[in-house]
Amino acid sequence: MRYAERGYNLEIDLSRGSIDRVETDPRSTELYLGGQGAAAKLLWDRVPPEADPFSPENLLIFSSGLLNATPVPGATRTSVNTFSPQTSLMAHSLMGSYFGVEMKHAGYDRIVIRGKSPDLVYLWVNNGKVEIRDASHLRGKGTQETASLIKEELRDAKVQVAAIGPAGENRVYMASIDHSHASAARGPGPVMGDKGLKAIAVRGTQDIHTARPAELFEMCLRLNKELAENPNVGDWMATDEDDSFHHDNFSWGNARTRRKDFWSKELQERWTNLKYDHMDRQTGCYNCPKKCHNVISWPGRKRFSYKCYGKDTYHMAAYQELDFSYDILGVAQELGLDSYSTPQVIAFALELLEAGILTDKDFPGMPSNVKGRFFYLLEIITRREGIGDTLANGVYWAARQIGKGAEKYDHNTVKKFEQLPIKLGKVNPPYFLMIATGEKMSITQIEGSFPQDPLPTVEQRQEFVNNWVATPHEKFKEWFLRWEKRNEISNEASCAITDWNEAMHYIDDSLGLCGFVSSFRGQFGGKTGYHVWNIPELISLSTGLDFDKDKLWKTFQRIRTLVRAVNVRRGLRRKDDRPPEDHWAVRDESFEQKLLDDYYGFKGWTSDGIPTKETLDKLDLNYVSEDFIKRGILTANGGAPS
Amino acid sequence: MQANVKKKIVKDIRVDVDKCTGCRSCEMACSAFHAVPKYSSLNPAKARIRVIMDEARDIYVPIRAGEYTQAECTGRNLYTINGKEYSECCFCPSSCPSRDYFKEPDSGLPLKCDMCEDEPPLALPMCVQACQQEALTYIEREEEVKKEEVKLEEMEIVFEELVRKHGKKKVMDTFARLSKS
């Protein structure tokens, strides 16, 4: 009997039209958990490093978190992994709501898609009955519309659908996969389109078993109540009407302008009214007591729900107000475009027009007002029409394809991926490391356990530390107590802080725990729902595998190192671990490079960012070190090639 | 109080559809509590409470399983409440052939809410414990019920009729004679 998981993957080959139910190895669960960890192992094993992301060999993996569908509250996230056409690296993507849970009840821990369908199809997974069905009638349909049409066609409202919109069909790099009020961004959308897969519909009515059910259920009832009552967890952006933090500190337009005095009481009141005049309700994901989705009904648009800072991205890119985001978000969601990267691409294009690098001829028929221009650009990018075809490849590639100095306007990407529009003064050393080395591409997927900033007084710091249960080691408390200026913190502390921040995300993303109740939520207030002290017990009670804090930590290191290895094999090196040049105004190259050296050393990587043989073997990744030596990525004695 | 009236406690769950977030914790918890052995499996498809949901139309209605019915009903009213249209099914607790709610998914046998009757009794039904939104609240109300009149059993009705027709003596004599033979 497999506990918490089903022990089967559903393997679909869209080129051959084959469908297989494949038993998985329980030892693999102990080593890589589920979600992103399990997906990284599949990508390592089965996709050759030379494979183009737009080739039939690339896999598109929907991987449920190990704790999805157990009573653990907030364990709702499903990982969607593939190789991204934008970065050529492993795409890290997550979605909440119900998909992974339904997939498990249907009998599968993962759905693994390979090959390419000659015609547009959708997959219908109804417990043991799986069909590849024609989707030609769904071509060009919006994400929510597709879900509604499929539910109607299958005559079952309980079916869970994950679908791409026209942007995904046209392999737009910023395309997302949308499901319910969640969306999986950062890479898998265009791959799904490339594979000719419009949607996956899942319905499952099978039991999930856990190893020690009564104890687990009792613990989870308690956690459910605790999460509900804990104001530190959940998405503050859904509930806090004071959003001065993003508006006064993040940059507007193409990550250009800070407007430090933008926020005002008058504005807050006006925007609060706008929200409550148009909000139908707040919803939550499966078995989670938080309500992070504000569902907005805007006249003439489909209902939509925004995700965290996705509430601000469009109007900040366009120098507009909240009503503009409300107007455009429902449209962008239907087209299946990610609300983080897309507005940056549009702002970048408009900047090029202003600079004369692009001209009016590149934008035939474009309206003269900014709002109209954003809608126009959404459309031509989605349809890959004219200059839209270039812009659909994201800022990095578009800049190089346009040339004529456009490269200079690409000032906010790392590893070819659009970053959050943050431009600050002095370097915050742990943030330097996170932005430089993170392979989940967005800082929101890396930061979160250690506070972003020091607290001003010793008393405040002491109080913070007194209630800080989540710290894996006492040293974090000592560092925080001594931390006074943002840019003054030891390299030793910066390395360990980055490591801990990263650890929580790698653990969450393999277990299916949501960052909003765990990894992302320690940085403000410290009190997360989940941490290294209570997660091992949840794994043990759910799966029957004996986990403690040390074993969990080693599992994080294994998964994190495997993800690094997957990317190193595709060419990732030190040169790619570099924040945008203007991310901070005051820079110190030699300090930063020394910090990077120290971090690689801390991680057990070579000075070029490659995990050493010793590191790999210690983490049971001998098959990786052997491969690295065979390929000449490491020398025969396991060191760095000269 | 009148002699033929007594009070009984009626257990109810009050549903506030505006507070429901669609998290379906109630379904998960219900299925765990009713698993045999208790908590041994999780499966919302076996829950005796389901959230009827249509995200596109902002409809979220938790309903508890009621009686099994052999046939679909004929009434298919549509209700408009606060501008949203609800089908009659949204509020109907029946385990009915028109849908697969409240049926054990493998056997098709009907499921019915028992308010988590247990020994020792739960403080609150499990779905209410799981719901952190106060979309489900447990209430107990007193209801006056008339004392039931003493009903005659079937045999008594037969004898009463015979006595009325033939007289008590004849019936008793006949009964005595028959019982000897």
| pLDDT tens figures, A461-512 | 999 999 899 999 999 999 999 999 999 999 999 999 999 999 999 999 999 9
- What was the pLDDT predicted at B3? 63
Nearest CA in chain B to A68: B42
- Report whether CATH 1.10.599 matches the domain A424-631: yes
Say which of A69, A217, A288 has its CB closest to residue B39.
Answer: A217
Q: Which of B24, B132, B133, B136 is the best residue to mutate to test the A interface, defined by the most A CB atoms within 10 Å of its own CB? A: B132
| Residue written as token pair 């508890």 | B64
Confidence class of residue A446 from pLDDT cuts 50, 70 and 90?
Answer: very high
Query: How many CB atoms are located within 10 Å of the residue A361 CB?
Result: 8
Q: Is residue A576 scored above 70 in pLDDT?
A: yes
Chain B residues in contact with A222 by the CB 8 A cut-off are none
Query: Residue B41 — φ and ψ, nearest 5°?
Result: -145, 160
The alpha carbon of residue A447 and the mean position of all alpha carbons in its chain are separated, in whole angstroms, by 12
DSSP label at A60? E
Confidence class of residue B6 from pLDDT cuts 50, 70 and 90?
Answer: confident
For B46-135, strand residue ranges (E) read: 49-54, 59-64, 78-81, 84-87
Query: Residue A432 — φ and ψ, nearest 5°?
Result: -55, -50
Q: Is residue B1 scored above 70 in pLDDT?
A: no
Q: Note the helical H segments in A544-621.
A: 549-568, 589-603, 613-618
DSSP label at A131? E
Cis peptide bond upstream of A454, omega within 30:
no
Cβ neighbourhood burial of A264 (10 Å; 0-12, 13-18, 19+): exposed
Residue B132 touches chain A, beta carbons under 8 Å? yes
Which residues of A sit within 8 Å Cβ distance of B?
69-71, 73, 98, 105, 144, 147-148, 157, 180-181, 204-210, 213-214, 216-217, 221, 224-225, 227-228, 280-289, 291, 295, 297, 302-303
Task: Specify whether the CB–CB gap between A578 and A589 falls below 8 A.
Answer: no
Say which of B37, B39, B130 has its CB closest to residue A224.
Answer: B130
Chain A residues in contact with B37 by the CB 8 A cut-off are 213
> What does the domain layout of chain A look like in residue ranges?
8-203, 246-412, 424-631
- What was the pLDDT predicted at A642? 62
**pTM attached to this predicted model:** 0.94
C-alpha–C-alpha distance, residues A44 and A490, integer Å: 35
Nearest of A518, A510, A525, A383 to residue A92 by alpha carbon? A510
Q: 3-state DSSP call for residue B7?
A: strand
Residues 6+ apart with CB under 8 A from A390: A397, A398, A401, A402
Confidence class of residue A594 from pLDDT cuts 50, 70 and 90?
Answer: very high
Q: What is the pLDDT of residues A127-169, one digit of tens each?
A: 999 999 999 999 999 999 999 999 999 999 999 999 999 999 9
Q: How far is CA A444 from CA A93, A434, A452, A510, in A?
A: 12, 10, 12, 17
A8-203 architecture in CATH? 4-Layer Sandwich (3.60)
- What was the pLDDT predicted at A177? 98
Nearest CA in chain B to A226: B132
Give A639 or A144, the one with higher predicted confidence. Answer: A144
B5-146 architecture in CATH? 2-Layer Sandwich (3.30)
Residues 6+ apart with CB under 8 A from A210: A3, A4, A70, A71, A216, A541, A542, A543, B42
- What was the pLDDT predicted at A636? 83
- What was the pLDDT predicted at B181? 72
- What was the pLDDT predicted at B24? 98
The alpha carbon of residue B84 and the mean position of all alpha carbons in its chain are separated, in whole angstroms, by 27
Confidence class of residue B2 from pLDDT cuts 50, 70 and 90?
Answer: low
Nearest CA in chain B to A206: B43
Say which of B45, B58, B129 has its CB closest to residue A205.
Answer: B45
Q: Is residue A28 scored above 70 in pLDDT?
A: yes
Confidence class of residue A5 from pLDDT cuts 50, 70 and 90?
Answer: very high
Lowest mean pLDDT among A23-32, A121-130, B3-12: B3-12
C-alpha–C-alpha distance, residues A80 and A164, integer Å: 13
Give the alpha-carbon dihedral of A32, A33, A36, A40, to 10 degrees: 20
Same fold, A246-412 and A424-631: no
CA end-to-end distance (rounded Å), chain A: 50
Chain B residues in contact with A4 by the CB 8 A cut-off are none
Query: Residue A124 — φ and ψ, nearest 5°?
Result: -115, 110
Q: Note the helical H segments in A230-359.
A: 236-239, 244-249, 265-278, 313-317, 322-335, 341-354
Q: What is the pLDDT of residues B25-73, one digit of tens each?
A: 999 999 999 999 999 999 999 999 999 999 999 999 999 999 999 998 8
Chain A residues in contact with B32 by the CB 8 A cut-off are 71, 213, 217
DSSP label at B152? P
- Two structure tokens written together for A406: 């456009």
Distance from CA of A211 to the nearest CA of B (A): 8
Query: Residue A586 — φ and ψ, nearest 5°?
Result: -105, 115
Q: What is the pLDDT of residues A289-343, one digit of tens each?
A: 999 999 999 999 999 999 899 999 999 999 999 999 999 999 999 999 999 999 9
Contact at CB, B58 and A280, closer than 8 angstroms: yes
Q: What is the pLDDT of residues A218-271, one digit of tens each?
A: 999 999 999 999 999 999 999 899 999 999 999 999 999 999 999 999 999 999
Nearest of A428, A446, A450, A426 to residue A437 by alpha carbon? A446
What is the average pLDDT value for chain A, to the nearest integer? 97
C-alpha–C-alpha distance, residues A134 and A123, integer Å: 9
A246-412 CATH: 1.10.569.10
Contact at CB, B56 and A284, closer than 8 angstroms: no
The alpha carbon of residue A621 and the mean position of all alpha carbons in its chain are separated, in whole angstroms, by 25
